[in-house]
Chain A
Amino acid sequence: MMQIVKSVGVRKSFGAFEALRGIDLEIDCGEVLCIVGPSGSGKSTFLRCINQLEAIDAGALWVNGELVGYRRSGRKLFELSEREIARQRLATGMVFQRFNLFPHKTALENVIEGPVQVLRTERRQAEAIATELLARVGLAHKRGAYPIELSGGQQQRVAIARALAMKPALMLFDEPTSALDPELVGDVLSVMRDLARTGMTMIVVTHELGFAREVANRVLFMDHGLVVEAGSPEQVLGRPTQARTRDFISAVLS
């Protein structure tokens, strides 16, 4: 299967406010897609719809070959149970802007929590995998540290390891470096760069245009709940065709 995400006319409202006003998008396996756009344009909302932290109001969304949130039978769509939604979420890993590590668990415990409790992996095996993942994000020596004892950049790298431990088909990043001090951004981006090199499919909401230019296969510019422009990084970031994209890029770069 080549396509991992397919979004057709996805809409989402909060009360009277329309955060997504019809998103059409297809993402291939192995692709790294960066989403940029001004604050409030619906970037986070779209990511949260993909892993069902929000339910969509209209349109349809397929992730990893499954219709998101519904089961199709005849000409009817049946809402999935909470348990089935939890199962569908296993296809995606999510990295949050504010890390959201479990503060009462050490780095290692954070990483093995999902495999042991959800996937029912044997604890010894889960620890072996977690140790390897922590080494991959450069934090093997911090396995016993609680989140409060880690810097923001270290916490975010543990969060990436925690998401990867579930062996997702798709990784979602929601502004993973926005809450970090400038000198810590580089470590997190280099972990993400390595991850992209392994062929992981990634959707990254980011204001790091340099990262997008270097790592993304495709860049998508969103504004007011719509995709304004999409294409190669050179095209969208270098030669944008839409005035709104140009304004945004010059605002970020200045």
Chain B
Amino acid sequence: MGGGRDDLADDLSEFEHVRRKHIGRYVSAALIVALASWVTMAFAHGRIEWAFVGQYVAVRTIIMGLGNTVLMTALAMLIGIAIGVTVAIMRLSSNPVVNLAAAGYVWFFRGTPVLLQLLLWFNLALVFPHLGIPGLVEVPTVEVMTPFLAALLGLGINQGAYTSEVVRAGLLSVDQGQYEAAKAIGMPRLLALRRIILPQAMRVIVPPIGNEVIGMVKLTSLASVIQFPEMVYSAENIYYANNRVIELLIVAGIWYVVVVTVLSILQGRIERYFARGAGASGAMSRAGASR
């Protein structure tokens, strides 16, 4: 105590400042550099022909695969979000039938692996040899249920079950007073949801949906088992012919990383848009942007 008083009386403005030493930072940096160079060395000396990676990274089949991966991600997420929003609104409905149907959907599609669902859609012909209205229009199921359609339905409908939970949490996060203010200016329920509640829920919904889009990019690779020519299937097709397994898997990996990186950047932008007018978190992301 006494020492403190003496300090207070002294003039410290002329003293030299000695910075704190961050020994932990140096040690961890050294460890990480060592580990990274060891991994790099391993790959450099491993049995990988890097020239092949460069040679195959932009061949037609791979680019087509990339296009199909991106297309499938976009379409499956669109279906997932459309179903997710609808089912979330159904689950908050006061109609018990609607409510139960929505809960049942979520239960079933979250309860089974998506790989199994993909196989079920693809093999639908075993259950229903023909699709359509009996006597009017009927088509053989095998002709309709292409790998593309099976993948789209399997991934999209499965995604809807997860997205509905995210959307439901978002809707519940909006203050009750907002529903009442919307009603008070004469808005019917669905208009209030669309104009007032959903846009505010987006702030809560967008980050996890962004996460799910990124997940979907990689989930589409499961569709390779039902012969949908996405990235992994395309890479496999090439290495079945030339045996450059690892090189082609690396090519596919590079493209996944590129796509995910682009999406991550987009995600940040979209989050900032929906944070407008929203207190602390809006201010936080604005500050984040200026840094």
Point out residues on A near B: beta carbons under 8 Å.
51, 53, 82-83, 86-87, 89-90, 92-94, 96, 98, 100-106, 113-114, 117-119, 146-148, 159, 162-163, 166
Q: How far is the CA of A94 from the CA of B185 in the complex (A)?
A: 8
Q: Taking A100-B178, A166-B185 as given, write out 16 further A-B residue pairs in contact, using a Cβ cutoff of 8 Å, ordered by the A residue number.
A: A92-B184, A93-B184, A93-B185, A94-B184, A96-B181, A96-B184, A100-B175, A100-B180, A103-B277, A114-B185, A118-B186, A146-B276, A147-B277, A148-B277, A162-B185, A163-B185
Residue of B nearest to A88 (CB): B186
Q: Is B269 interfacial (CB-CB < 8 Å)?
A: no
Q: How far is the CA of A190 from the CA of B206 in the complex (A)?
A: 42
Which one of A82, A96, A104 has the highest number of Cβ atoms from chain B below 10 Å of its Cβ?
A104
16 A-B residue pairings within 8 Å (CB atoms): A87-B186, A89-B183, A93-B184, A100-B178, A101-B181, A102-B200, A104-B199, A104-B276, A105-B277, A113-B185, A113-B195, A117-B191, A148-B278, A159-B181, A162-B185, A163-B185
B195 & A166 in contact (Cβ 8 Å cutoff): no
Cβ proximity bits B171-189 to A, threshold 8 Å, 1 near / 0 not? 0000101101111111111
Q: Closest 3 interchain pairs by CB?
A: A114-B185, A100-B181, A146-B277
Q: Is B196 interfacial (CB-CB < 8 Å)?
A: yes
Q: How far is the CA of A93 from the CA of B180 in the complex (A)?
A: 12
B279 & A148 in contact (Cβ 8 Å cutoff): yes
A114 CB contact (under 8 Å) in B175, B186, B277, B282? B186
A86 & B183 in contact (Cβ 8 Å cutoff): yes
Q: How far is the CA of A101 from the CA of B196 in the complex (A)?
A: 10
Residue numbers in B under 8 Å from A93 (CB-CB): 184-185
B184 & A51 in contact (Cβ 8 Å cutoff): yes
For chain B, the bracket of interface size reads 20 to 34
Residue numbers in B under 8 Å from A87 (CB-CB): 186
B187 & A86 in contact (Cβ 8 Å cutoff): yes
Residue numbers in B under 8 Å from A105 (CB-CB): 277
The number of A-B residue pairs with CB atoms under 8 Å apart is 77
Name the distance in Å between B145's Cβ and chain A's nearest Cβ. Answer: 40
B186 & A86 in contact (Cβ 8 Å cutoff): yes
B180 & A114 in contact (Cβ 8 Å cutoff): no
Residue numbers in B under 8 Å from A98 (CB-CB): 177
B200 & A83 in contact (Cβ 8 Å cutoff): no
Q: How far is the CA of A148 from the CA of B276 in the complex (A)?
A: 10
> Taking A103-B200, A117-B195 as contacts, is the C-beta distance between A163 and B183 under 8 angstroms?
no
> Taking A86-B188, A117-B191 as contacts, is the C-beta distance between A53 and B277 under 8 angstroms?
no
Q: How far is the CA of A96 from the CA of B282 in the complex (A)?
A: 25
B180 & A90 in contact (Cβ 8 Å cutoff): no
A53 & B276 in contact (Cβ 8 Å cutoff): no
Residue numbers in A under 8 Å from B187 (CB-CB): 86, 114, 117-118
Q: How far is the CA of A187 from the CA of B183 in the complex (A)?
A: 26
Q: How far is the CA of A93 from the CA of B279 in the complex (A)?
A: 27
> Taking A103-B277, A103-B278 as contacts, is the C-beta distance between A53 and B186 under 8 angstroms?
no
Q: How far is the CA of A117 from the CA of B188 in the complex (A)?
A: 10
Residue numbers in B under 8 Å from A51 (CB-CB): 184
Cβ proximity bits B21-44 to A, threshold 8 Å, 1 near / 0 not? 000000000000000000000000
Q: How far is the CA of A21 from the CA of B181 in the complex (A)?
A: 26
Residue of B nearest to A116 (CB): B195
A100 & B276 in contact (Cβ 8 Å cutoff): no
Name the distance in Å between B169's Cβ and chain A's nearest Cβ. Answer: 18
Residue of A nearest to B203 (CB): A104
Residue of B nearest to A147 (CB): B277
Q: How far is the CA of A166 from the CA of B189 in the complex (A)?
A: 18
